[in-house]
Amino acid sequence: MKAYGSCRELNHPMVSVIILNYNGRRILGQLLSDCLSSVLETSYPNFEVIFVDNGSTDDSVVSIEEKFGKDPRLKIIRNERNLGFAEGNNVGAKYARGEYIVFLNNDIEVDNRWLKELINIVNSDSTIGAAQSKLLLLHNRKQFDCAGGFIDYYGYASERGHGEEDKGQYDRIDEIFYAKGAAILIRHEVLESVGLFDPDFIMYYEETDLCWRIWLRGYRIVFVPTSIVYHATRATVSHRKRAVEVDFMTRYHLTTMIKNYNWINLMKYLSAFILIEIRRATVLIMKRNTARAKASIKAFLWNLFSLKYIWKKRLEVQLSIRRVPDTHIMRRAMLKPYPPFPHRMILHVSRFANKPNRKVPSITEVS
């Protein structure tokens, strides 16, 4: 294994925690400072914090420097402009010295043992490529934000446990399809083998696409319930902004499927996805919600006109990254649509498969 960092304490490998910020002082107020404080007070003994400012126009960097600038574990990176979530985090990863890299949102607070619990699990099993903490709501700490992400065969993403009260129902180490980007730990060597976040993804599906590549490489992604992170969620968005979100969500949903499915499954499930979205757009037009309907159409046209460029990325994934078949991933971490196609013409959510309370097997145990 390639060595990272200046030292590797016994059972305490070096971890680089990357926190991306854009106008956090103006948008989050005291929460930005609370985020850094909680991370720097983490009980884990061997980590650095890379604070990446994405071209903020407020006093975020000044406030962080004044309060935390003397801490030798903190490194501040300044981007000249807002590069977005994907590329902004990629910049931070290039400065990371850790054997593990953690991507954290700037609107979180962490439990004192959050990092130690993640490392205890991931460092004990080389087949685990990434992991997610238990994400609870910051302002209602008994309620879930996310207990792991899944997609169904048509690529629709669902966050397990969202909005549920935490009653211990997900208190087991479990395989998940993707780790939510608010708190995700990834092996540095895995990122070197599968690549970083796709810089062309402006918003949505960044972590879904990356985690799909991690699965394709033959690694697993797990949910670690003893690692607890509290996440502040956003306010309700306007109809106009929602239309923009639909554009980007549908755009990168489609791109992610094109890049990562094998040829047969791409044709099978992409066709179904197109039919589902045509139906959705038709219903929106009938309801006179033309803005969202146009957003869906715009997303398809973007992929169509960018297909040559996207196809080059697909070839890299299929020829250079893939080590396991789709059936391996579909069996272990994807959701069967319920009821069978066309489920989205009837229901708006997928049913999560019941997962027994068991120790997660390694890849070799099911191969």
Q: How far apart (Å, rounded) are the C-alpha atoms in residues 187 and 176? A: 16
List the Cα angle 104/107/112 in 5-degree steps: 65
Average confidence (pLDDT) over 68-77: 96
**pLDDT, greater one: 114 or 361:** 114
Q: How far apart (Å, rounded) are the C-alpha atoms in residues 109 and 134? A: 12
Q: How far apart (Å, rounded) are the C-alpha atoms in residues 24 and 327? A: 42
Predicted confidence band of residue 349 (pLDDT cuts 50, 70, 90): very low
Q: Is the pLDDT of residue 346 over 80?
A: no
Q: How far apart (Å, rounded) are the C-alpha atoms in residues 129 and 189? A: 9
Pairing outcome for strands 108-110 and 220-231: antiparallel
Q: How far apart (Å, rounded) are the C-alpha atoms in residues 187 and 2? A: 11
Which ranges of the chain would DSSP assign to H, the alpha helix?
A: 24-28, 30-40, 60-68, 84-94, 114-122, 188-194, 206-216, 239-260, 263-286, 290-305, 307-316, 326-333, 363-366
Q: Which of 37-46, 283-292, 304-313 has the lowest mean pLDDT?
A: 283-292
Q: Select from 3.40.50.300, 3.40.50.150, 3.40.50.2300, 3.90.550.10 the CATH code of 16-231.
A: 3.90.550.10
Q: Indicate the SS3 state at residue 73.
A: coil
**pLDDT, greater one: 356 or 256:** 256
What is the maximum span of the chain, computed from C-alpha positions, in angstroms?
Answer: 63
Asked whether 153 and 63 are in contact (CB, 8 A), the reply is: no
**Can you give the pLDDT at residue 26?**
86
Q: Enter the tokens of residue 26.
A: 């103006």
**pLDDT, greater one: 288 or 100:** 100
**pLDDT, greater one: 312 or 5:** 312
Query: What's the mean per-residue pLDDT of the chain?
Result: 88
Q: Is the pLDDT of residue 153 over 60?
A: yes
- What are the residues whose beta carbons fall under 8 Å from the beta carbon of 277, sequence distance 6 or more? 250, 296, 300
- Sign of CA pseudo-dihedral 27, 30, 32, 35: negative
The answer to whether the predicted template modeling score (pTM) of the entire model surpasses 0.75 is yes
pLDDT per position as a tens digit, 56-72: 999 999 999 999 999 99
- The domain ranges of the chain are 16-231, 239-350
Question: Which of 184, 56, 51 has the alpha carbon at shortest distance from 106?
Answer: 51
pLDDT per position as a tens digit, 191-202: 999 999 999 998
Asked whether 122 and 100 are in contact (CB, 8 A), the reply is: yes
Predicted confidence band of residue 250 (pLDDT cuts 50, 70, 90): very high
Q: Is the pLDDT of residue 277 over 50?
A: yes
Predicted confidence band of residue 97 (pLDDT cuts 50, 70, 90): very high
Q: Is the pLDDT of residue 223 over 60?
A: yes
Q: Indicate the SS3 state at residue 65.
A: helix
Q: How far apart (Å, rounded) are the C-alpha atoms in residues 110 and 103? A: 13
Q: Is 223 exposed, middle or buried (0-12, 13-18, 19+ CB in 10 A)?
A: buried
Q: Is the pLDDT of residue 52 over 60?
A: yes
Q: Enter the tokens of residue 266.
A: 């791409």
Q: How far apart (Å, rounded) are the C-alpha atoms in residues 120 and 170? A: 18
Average confidence (pLDDT) over 330-351: 64
CA 40 to chain centroid, in Å, comes to: 22
Predicted confidence band of residue 279 (pLDDT cuts 50, 70, 90): confident
Q: Which of 24-28, 181-185, 250-254, 325-329 has the lowest mean pLDDT?
A: 24-28
